[in-house]
Amino acid sequence: MSRLPLGLLQGFVLVARTGKLSRAAEQLNLTVSALSHQVRNLEERLGRTLFDRGPRGVSLTPDGASLLEAIGHHFEGIEHALGRFEARHQDAVTLSVLPSVASSWLVPRLPRLVGKHPEIELSLHSSVSVVDFDREPNVDVAFRYGLGAWPRTKAERLFDEYIVPIASPSLVRRMGGLPTTSLAGWPLLGDPSGRWNDWAEAFGMPLPSRYVARFDNTEHLQRAVLEGMGVALGRLVMARSLIECGALTVLCQERLRVAEAYYLVYPKRSEAHSGVARVRDWLLGEAKEYEAGLAATMPITA
């Protein structure tokens, strides 16, 4: 077998790391079609199938996993070695963010970032996966939801998350108006995290014998609420804009703080990045303003 071009192996490693041709192609400044052709070329040269192709991306076959294990660390070493010589563009910041947080909280506020820091070139990477800064050196900082413990990173708390019972106005009308004492008799929707147990314990509400439906995806759950299917415990960060525009109704004034919160997370290399520092300071200011507004409109009860 003739010597393999380094570019073919680099493309393979990036596709294997990201699990998506589109993201790998973006990092390589290639079209998806060109990268797909490269991967096929590599498979033909090796006489092995390296990826299983599916509607949600690609996954490594046993042969692919074996190849990645053999060569992946070499590319990581090259990237780290070259990183010491690359000049950092201090006005360019790449931020990884959860899609739900991007659409409901971050993106509506970005015009204010542009107004305050027009020099910042912000790139948003929307992903549900926790970014690995070692494997994705192009990502400078991440906006994440969790308990604040991510290895080899600095995590700064932005704001807490709360849950409240929410329903569509149409369901409230069908039920004869807002509940006066409890949610007994209301159709409840089970959520991915089992938050109804926490709510019942905090406010003494008996749990139902059954839920109308259960969901393992927060966005699907919220969509079911919007369609009038039942009552869910909504995360305020995701639901507040819909509450304020009247698309959703809060059934009571109690709100429950959950253990998880929103954090700004970044690796040590980003501490000296002046663009990250400007975005960080802006986000901390926006977070403080958000929490003050929330406290004014919905006092904490638990």
Instruction: Identify the domain boundary among 83, 117, 150.
Output: 83
Tell me: do 168 and 190 sit in the same domain. Answer: yes
Do residue 53 and residue 99 come from a single domain?
no
Same domain assignment for residues 126 and 271: yes
**Which tokens in the block code for residue 174?**
């069908």
Burial per residue of 54-75, b for 16 or more beta-carbon CB atoms within 10 angstroms, e otherwise: eeeebebeeebeebbeebbeeb
Of 26-30, 109-113, 297-301, the least confident: 297-301
Is residue 183 very low, low, confident or very high in pLDDT (cuts 50, 70, 90)? confident
pLDDT beyond 70 at 302: no
pLDDT category at 30 given cuts 50, 70, 90 is: confident
Residue 87 reports pLDDT greater than 50:
no
Report the range of poorest mean pLDDT among 50-54, 134-138, 158-162.
134-138
Kindly state whether residue 58 falls inside one of the protein's structural domains: yes
Does residue 251 share a domain with residue 181?
A: yes
What is the pLDDT at residue 85? 47
Q: Compute the distance between CA of residue 56 and CA of residue 202 in angstroms, rounded to an integer.
A: 39
Does any domain span residue 1? no
Higher-confidence residue: 95 or 33?
95
Please name the residue ranges forming H helices in 84-129.
99-101, 110-116
Counting the structural domains of the chain, the total is 3
Query: Burial of 235 by CB count in 10 Å (0-12 exposed, 13-18 middle, 19+ buried)?
Result: buried
| Residue 75 pLDDT greater than 80, yes or no | no
- When the pLDDT of each residue in the chain is averaged and rounded to a whole number, the result is 86
Query: Tell me, what's the pLDDT at 10?
Result: 83
**Is 225 contained in some domain?**
yes
Query: Averaged over 156-171, what is the pLDDT?
Result: 94
- Please check whether residue 37 lies inside any domain of the structure: yes
- Average pLDDT on 185-213 reads 86
Structure confidence at residue 12 (pLDDT): 87
Residues 180 and 36 in one domain: no
Asked whether residue 203 is assigned to any structural domain, the reply reads yes
Average pLDDT of the residues in 211-233: 90
Task: Give the CATH number of the domain where residue 47 resides.
Answer: 1.10.10.10
pLDDT of residue 298 exceeding 70, the answer is no
Residue 72: per-residue pLDDT: 79
State which residues form the domain around 116.
Answer: 92-160+260-297
**Can you say whether the dihedral through the CA atoms of 141, 147, 150, 156 is positive or negative?**
positive
Residue 302 within any structural domain of the chain? no
Same domain, residue pair 194 and 255: yes
Looking up residue 287, the CATH number of its domain turns out to be 3.40.190.10
Please tell me whether the overall predicted TM-score, pTM, comes out greater than 0.85 for this model. no
Residue 88 has pLDDT above 60, yes or no: no
Pick the residue with more confidence: 82 or 193? 193
> What residues contact residue 82 under an 8 Å CB cut-off, 6+ apart?
none
> Model confidence over 46-62: pLDDT tens digits?
888 999 888 777 889 99
Lowest-confidence region among 26-30, 167-171, 228-232, 283-287: 26-30
Alpha carbon distance 9, 64 (integer Å): 11
253 in the same domain as 172: yes
pLDDT number for residue 208: 80
Please indicate, yes or no, if residue 100 is contained in any of the structural domains. Answer: yes
Residues 182 and 233 in one domain: yes
Q: Which of 46, 66, 83 is the last residue of a domain?
A: 83
Which of these three, 83, 109, 134, is where a domain ends? 83
Same-domain status, 139 and 199: no
Residues 154 and 284 in one domain: yes
Please indicate, yes or no, whether residues 14 and 142 belong to a single structural domain of this protein. Answer: no
How does residue 188 score in pLDDT terms, banded at 50, 70 and 90?
Answer: very high
Task: Indicate if 151 and 166 belong to the same structural domain.
Answer: no
Query: CA-based diameter of the chain, in Å?
Result: 77
Residue 228 has pLDDT above 90, yes or no: yes
pLDDT digits (tens, 9 = 90+) for 239-294: 888 888 899 999 988 889 999 999 999 999 899 899 999 999 999 999 999 988 88
